[in-house]
Amino acid sequence: MIPLRDTIPSETAPVVTRLLIAANVLVFMHQVGLGQYAGEALIRTYGLVPRRVHLDRVETLSPLLTSMFLHGGWMHLLGNMLYLHIFGDNVEDRVGHLRYLLLYFACGIIAGIAQVTINPHSALPMVGASGAIAGVTGAYFLFFPRARIVTLVPIFIFLQIIELPAVFFLLFWFAFQLLLGIGSLGMDTATGGVAFWAHIGGFLAGMVLGPMLALSRPRTVRPAW
């Protein structure tokens, strides 16, 4: 299922969401512009390599941040930015610009820690904004349970555009991540793969932190979705 948009207009301009998308795109363009070998070296240096991370040593923690702005390819980048574009504006609207930025980075860091905890000996660099974006979707899940997501759904050999309840769409996404995450436990990850536990950790972090940040922000009354 590919989300195309949601049905909730934001009340304020999603400045931070747009800046985050721009930053991710610009970093990726720089990464691609370096060429294959230098680009891979950039990922090895600034990506999150679990076996290099020691949570009790501050100097090893910077990749928890830098890895969020690196991506493994155009499809990886476009998929992440699509989700951020669809779900980010409304969450930013609800919690406020600065709190939203805090939510994004906090969820991204927690997502990285979750993946490192599950697979601490991996020598492969983990890159991508998906852990932070999973946190944004976790907050969206609680804030806008009655929203609807316009979704492209493959049905046999046909593609159908339908509106799905946000609760169903995000529960399905989370259950899929959890199922694959459990299935990946104990598997050899030497050839790479998806950081499912980063997605799971980020989503749960967003469910916890999102409401906390929203409660601390005075706001005008708006319809419940």
Residues noted as catalytic: 130, 199
CB neighbourhood size of 81 (10 A): 21
- For 8, 86, 106, 159, 187, the CA distances from 152, given in Å and listed in that order, are 18, 14, 30, 7, 32
Neighbour-count burial of 178, counting CB atoms closer than 10 A to its CB (0-12 exposed, 13-18 middle, 19+ buried): middle
Alpha carbon of 107 to those of 22, 101, 121, 207, 224: distances in Å? 19, 10, 22, 10, 24
Query: What are the backbone dihedrals phi and psi of residue 165, each rounded to the nearest 5 degrees, phi first?
Result: -60, 140
Angle at 198 between CA 7 and CA 5, to 5 degrees: 15
Read off the tokens for 195. Answer: 């950081």
Q: Are strands 158-165 and 148-155 parallel, antiparallel or unpaired?
A: antiparallel
- The answer to whether residues 181 and 200 touch, using CB atoms and an 8 Å cutoff, is yes
Query: Is 111 within 8 Å of 128 (Cβ atoms)?
Result: no
Tell me the HSE value of 12 on the side-chain side, using a 13 A CA sphere: 17
